[in-house]
């Protein structure tokens, strides 16, 4: 799902996309200047190898996501620390953002239930 940023107004524009067993649902709304606010939830599960034993397991995902999308290069004025994704062509690809968020979750440290139990016994 691709959205042209200049068409996003202060009225929230809802979206929902899915990738395998993950749903990315939320909205885009104009914030100020070239910034568009994205607020969404990631909900579902994904298969990931355990970072301890390397066995694959289902990881439950229930994450709130909030960041800004800049219509063009974002020039930070230094006053506020913002999470900003830049769009150089004026279009945001929601499926691409979902894929990036999934990769961020996968890159975190996660262990399966068996390894978590072993850690708790120590």
Question: Alpha-carbon distance 31 to 29, whole Å?
Answer: 6
Does the pLDDT value for residue 18 go beyond 60?
yes
Q: How confident is the model at residue 55 (pLDDT cuts 50, 70, 90)?
A: very high
Question: Alpha-carbon distance 119 to 122, whole Å?
Answer: 5
pLDDT at 87: 84
Question: Alpha-carbon distance 39 to 10, whole Å?
Answer: 13
CA-nearest of 57, 76, 64, 63 to 114 is 57
Average pLDDT taken over every residue of the chain = 87
CA-nearest of 20, 36, 37, 26 to 102 is 20
User: Tokens 């999308």 map to which residue?
Assistant: 69
Question: Alpha-carbon distance 57 to 66, whole Å?
Answer: 27
CA torsion through residues 107, 60, 68, 16, sign: positive
Does the pLDDT value for residue 72 go beyond 80?
no
pLDDT at 122: 46
Ranges 42-46, 94-98, 118-122: which has the least confidence: 118-122
CA-nearest of 72, 49, 48 to 61 is 48
E strand or H helix that includes residue 121: helix 113-121
């Amino acid at each position: 799902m691709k959205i042209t940023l200049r068409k996003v107004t202060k009225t929230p524009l809802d979206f929902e996309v899915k990738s395998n067993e993950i749903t990315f649902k939320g909205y885009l709304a104009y914030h100020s200047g070239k910034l568009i606010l994205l607020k969404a939830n990631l909900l579902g599960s994904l298969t990931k190898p355990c970072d301890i034993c390397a066995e694959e397991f289902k990881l439950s995902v229930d994450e709130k996501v909030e960041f800004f999308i800049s219509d063009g290069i974002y020039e930070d004025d230094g006053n506020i620390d913002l999470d900003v994704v830049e769009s150089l062509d004026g279009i945001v690809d929601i499926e691409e953002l979902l894929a990036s968020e999934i990769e961020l979750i996968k890159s975190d440290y996660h262990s399966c239930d068996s390894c978590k139990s072993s850690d708790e016994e120590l």
